[in-house]
Amino acid sequence: MLDTARLTNLLPPKMRSQVDSYFEALSVFAEIRDPKVLAALGPSGVRGLLLHRGKQSAPTKIPAHHDAYFDWTYPADHPEMAELYRRAKQGQWDADSLPWHIDVDPLDPEVPLLPSWFIDADTLAAQIGTKFSPREQQEFRYSVCSWMLSQFLHGEQGALFAAAQVTEAVQFFDGKLYGATQVMDEGRHIEAFHRYLDQKLGRLYQVNDNLFVIIDSLMSDGRWDMKFLGMQIMVEGLALGAFSVLYRVTREPLLRKLLQMVIQDEARHVHYGVLALREHINRELSERERQEREDWAFEVALLMRNRFMAYEVYEEWFEGLISREQWRKFITEARGMQLFRQVMFERLVPNLREIGLLTARIRPHYEKVGLMQFYDGASADQLTAEQMLRDLDAPLGV
Ligand SMILES: [Fe+2]
Ligand SMILES: [Fe+2]
């Protein structure tokens, strides 16, 4: 991390926050150890973190460079993917059938979107010498929840386009048929999350810069397996963890139902990613290519762990009042955010193991950042839908 405090302290608060955000972006690049990973993530980093391409209030165009893979013999080439396809067809549902008649009052203390222990703004208020009323605390949690759901929605847009790309690019014909169901699933998820944000919460936050970097990177990478790794394993794996935490903590019944339905689809998506990559990484890639993916996955895991700091909420509530450094500390230590990180990596790490990207070579790095504790968990192909649903209703260890 660059030492920026001495320089930025001389500036007025608003400018200090801006300069701090640039230094933070630079530190993302400085922390990437592997030059190949830097080359792969660098251009997306510039577009996302420095140019804020996702925040220009205009449509973003990201060039895609992959080959569409046609096969005119229509082989039945992957029985497990064929089985997923069958299950996906049977699992289709209509977002219109969610209980949209439920009135959602985001500030109703009886039906909280997030519990008060999840993120407690009192500690921050105390730092700036003020105190939040119970109403202000609810408003703050309403912002945080709307921010999270907005990022879910933006991630779903990435998932829709990535699913369309990998359906073209993947070489398994059974995978292409399965992929068609995922494209439909992601479209439905956009419909449901957007409708909830628009009609029930009346809020939409801009895309987080770090999420934009990851989406930009995998959309523009021509290698189909990098798209799979980025979207099906990393983004979807983490989203699955995040959805399940929100499902377990929110008391709002429409949101719970929506998340429950989406989670069942997402579990198939991650399962598909594990099936496609396990074979490809272990049989078709050279050791050098495998290592490159191993390093990339580690860097992206760190990016996701350390960088989702909800700055969009900071800018709305606290910019100019506290430093970004103070905000980072607050977000890092908030109980709900800690829970997010734990559940997300509980899901992700076993999947990386299963596809062959957690070999003895990289394990010390995961160990160093405390992620090896999840190594022995069940991967997506080992978890049944019944287990997943049972886990969702288990009490939280908080
Ligand atoms: Fe989705
Ligand atoms: Fe998905």
d(CA 186, CA 168): 16
3-state DSSP assignment of residue 349: helix
d(CA 352, CA 183): 23
- C-alpha 216 to ligand 2 mean position (Å): 17
Highest-confidence segment of 34-48, 185-199, 299-313: 185-199
- C-alpha 239 to ligand 1 mean position (Å): 8
Q: Are 239 and 270 in contact (CB under 8 A)?
A: no
- C-alpha 6 to ligand 2 mean position (Å): 44
pTM for the model: 0.89
d(CA 223, CA 297): 14
In this structure, what token pair is assigned to residue 280?
């490809």
**Per-residue confidence (pLDDT) for residue 19, from 0 to 100:** 66
Give exposure, 198-231, as e/b (b: 16+ Cβ within 10 Å).
eebbeeebbbbbbbbbbbbbbbbbebbbbbbbbb
Decide yes or no: CATH 3.40.30.10 for domain 32-393. Answer: no
In this structure, what token pair is assigned to residue 138?
């609810």
Sign (positive or negative) of CA dihedral 106, 52, 50, 166 = positive
- C-alpha 75 to ligand 2 mean position (Å): 25
Domain boundaries, the chain: 32-393
| Nearest listed ligand to the Cα of residue 232 | 2
**Per-residue confidence (pLDDT) for residue 367, from 0 to 100:** 92
Q: What percentage of the chain has pLDDT greater than the value 90? A: 49
pLDDT single digits (tens) 191-240: 999 999 999 999 999 998 888 888 988 888 888 899 889 988 888 888 88
| Nearest listed ligand to the Cα of residue 166 | 2
- C-alpha 175 to ligand 2 mean position (Å): 15
- C-alpha 368 to ligand 1 mean position (Å): 31
- C-alpha 348 to ligand 2 mean position (Å): 14
d(CA 357, CA 290): 7
